Structure 1
């Protein structure tokens, strides 16, 4: 069974998914960050494949991607790095990126490589739902890779139901129409949106991302979802870090994950 599905079988509340850009802050930082997050008790790790023309990334993650590309990060390199630490890391590993580099790599070849190195899921925000359903769904099944879809406050109920029907991991609930790293908290309209999704009783777990940066925002979204995704705040921490393992553990401890109200 895929590690993502195994995770949700044993845990349904207060999950924490941390995003980190591959090759940032240093080219060889990726493996150390994955292992440090695993040691800190994070439930999933989302590794960003840096791309020069992102759609949803805010300035913090864009900057980290630019530095990672300058460091020499490539898709092949991040796959090699994951392979190196996969036997030591127990948590599910998700790759997040954009379609063009994957197509250049070769779609099936990429999925095969992901399976070989131990990647469990993919987030490709610009892969159309129709294209997945008609052209790629069978390949994801063949290589036991889960595709995670995003929904936003503008996503129609019909489309959410369609995404839920096609999904077999979790659904990434984008908290607002802004890019990553823009929000400092949640307004009433955000909470109303979370409640609307929660009331739909989707078959897949949901994780909320965008705008979660501290204990308060993490605790808020965990009231309405199975967990949270934190990206920009983690990248900002790495930018200042002098000791990755120590600072990663401190960052996770600062969220007080274990004390979130059930």
Structure 2
């Protein structure tokens, strides 16, 4: 009997894969103040799921394609006189609504909508595990390859221009990475909780670090602890696994905030 035949081992490995991909991406989301951007991209993924099922193509491919289209649309329209928060609000909720309506037309396909909205990490199979880790490794390779350029473009666009970098190109690379993270995270935490896994671990790590690299590592550690703690909570109290993971992440954020408050008063 293979170790991967244990559903809990598969769930833990899937969660760790998502955590390692989402955490460093979440740092860029925090640094660039892109919280709503991540939310809009995640909400769009449910439309990708519906289209993938309707066209009989892999769900991962449909989710990546629609998330990428959403992210590119936001990037394109943001510089054309639209208020960013208004634009993201319109696109995020519209995409989610169109996705839910599209799912209702799939009468010949059995679909557990709650699993896509809130995740179903305990039902992850061998094929899902392969997709999650392939996507996660691709995100990590992409970030490692462009780390310094992405960091420079994020912290100081003028310096990036002076160094021969194009901040808009780096934005597109981040957009691609974000779409991949959203696609691999759907099975684990669902589209409604992906933004939490992007933001909370990065926010947890922030008070404890001095460099961007330390923050990415700290966020990854926090995300992995959240996954394992959430699975343990779900197993012990029979709670939904995806929301339980986010609850543990939120508890870590509270502890992190208390530590920051004590440190500032000391």
Under TM normalisation by the shorter chain, which class is it?
under 0.3
**TM-score normalised according to structure 2 size:** 0.26
Higher RCO (Cα < 8 Å, 6 or more apart): 2
The structure with more radius of gyration: 2
**TM-score normalised according to structure 1 size:** 0.26
